[in-house]
Amino acid sequence: AQSVTQPDARVTVSEGASLQLRCKYSYSGTPYLFWYVQYPRQGLQLLLKYYSGDPVVQGVNGFEAEFIKSNSSFHLRKASVHWSDSAVYFCAVSPTSSSFSKLVFGQGTSLSVVP
């Protein structure tokens, strides 16, 4: 069974600084990988996804993530954060082989962007 670990429950960065949110997954093959974001009092929204090909995938609002198979990681990055990026970020994984692709979420990382 697949699993996802986000080691940082909370991250605080200054506005304009760069950001990396960590994600490690456990899966025997090459999974599908995702980052979702949850703004306050809202549901989750898809930021970006990786299926295959270029290991660096671009998402909305300047976010990108890099799939590193040797490290079983899919870290999320942004060059310069804005206060509106404050939210909870979820990494997720699903298998590529099952007929029903059950999405498994990590524990989430709460991002606070301070002035």
Interface residues with another protein (CB under 8 A)?
Answer: 32, 34, 36, 38, 41-46, 49, 88, 90, 92, 94, 100-103, 105, 107-108, 110
**In the bound complex, what is the minimum distance in angstroms from residue 93's beta carbon to another protein?**
9
18 vs 96 by CB, closer to another protein: 96
19 vs 50 by CB, closer to another protein: 50
**In the bound complex, what is the minimum distance in angstroms from residue 113's beta carbon to another protein?**
18
Residue 84: phi and psi, rounded to 5, are -70, -5
27 vs 36 by CB, closer to another protein: 36
